[in-house]
Homo-oligomer: A and B are copies of this chain.
Amino acid sequence: MTIKFDNVYINETGTVSGPYEGNGPIGKYLDLCHDDLYFGEDNWEQAEVKLIKEAIDVLLRKSQVDLTLIDAFIGGDLLNQITPSNYAMSSFNKSFIGIYAACSTATLGLILGGSLVEGGFLNKVITFTSSHNMAAEKQYRYPTEYGGPKPKTTTFTATGGASALLSKEKSGIKLESGTIGAVVDSGSKDVFNMGAAMAKAAADTIYKHLKDTGRSIDYYDLVLTGDLGIYGKEILKEYMASEYNIKLGKYNDTGVMLYDLDSQPVYAGASGPACAPLVVYGYIFDKMRKGKYKRVLLAATGALMSPTMVNHKLMIPSVCHAVSLEVIS
């Protein structure tokens, strides 16, 4: 299901990160990078709450839009009951739509926000998402202090918060369309190879997006996936070619871009809901404004399992929500 938007723009963004992201190749494009993973809080969960609040505060400051003018927030994260989002929202007294789409949260938020703006229901809406490496490791696997070894296909959950302001005001980047993905049975049960589990969802949504819009893949100057990592990226390229006869040429993966994979200890690359928006709102939007890319398809992917379901030896369901982004002239 692809929704076309005639009048929706991403007017401003806010990006906040931890030290790994700040020291990576994208760091200099982010609004705020912290040196410490606690962000002055007592625990990882509250640190993630703070990431969200800061990502919103930074956006409001940059856009010079007063909070009273924001009609609603749309957001979510990886933690149980999306508590970082819910606790952060308890400080804002604004209508809140809580969503869960794992690492594809940013694009689902943009599509929902875009629909509510395009439909005339909301004037200004802020979408946000976050992830925190330590909070995610503690919840999904083991506290990192245990020091357990991991296979090289593992991805490294990014620490960051990202927000975007949507309205009909013609400025910044145009949200041209969005494809709401279907949950696919990945057939994979390996939580240490999430890229493999999510590649099928990415292929499904990219294919449907092109079919719905009647476009060829060459319509886009750049196709980006959410966070497949170095192995998942290759799987997607092979799968798109063999299954759909589509050659992913001008293509990259935000999980491969967020860190320096040669020097940083991040296994197969970045993952987490913050990964795609940190790379896109920070780095890609800068390149779009400077004329390097005019049309970008961002296909963010999410792995939708829980530790309980993994313990039941079930496959990992995955999803991909895609948005078409355009520079306005």
Contact across chains for B182 and A304 when beta carbons are under 8 A apart: no
Please give me the residue from chain B that is nearest to A89 by CB atom: B183
Cα(A78)–Cα(B86), bound, Å: 14
Please give me the residue from chain B that is nearest to A310 by CB atom: B83
Cα(A314)–Cα(B95), bound, Å: 22
B91, B100, B108, B308: the one contacting A82 at CB < 8 Å is B100
CB contacts (< 8 Å) of A99 on chain B: these are 97-100
B1, B101, B121: the one contacting A115 at CB < 8 Å is B121
Cα(A94)–Cα(B182), bound, Å: 5
Counting chain A residues whose Cβ lies within 8 A of the other chain, the interface size class is: 35 or more
Q: Per DSSP, are chain A's interface residues mostly helix, strand or loop, or mixed? A: mixed
Contact across chains for A45 and B86 when beta carbons are under 8 A apart: no
B92, B108, B115, B306: the one contacting A80 at CB < 8 Å is B306
**Is A112 on the interface with B (CB-CB < 8 A)?**
yes
Given contacts A87-B314, A97-B180, contact A45 B308 (CB under 8 A): yes
Contact across chains for B183 and A86 when beta carbons are under 8 A apart: yes
**Is A26 on the interface with B (CB-CB < 8 A)?**
no
- Least CB distance from A126 to B in Å reads 13
**Is A7 on the interface with B (CB-CB < 8 A)?**
no
**Is A213 on the interface with B (CB-CB < 8 A)?**
no
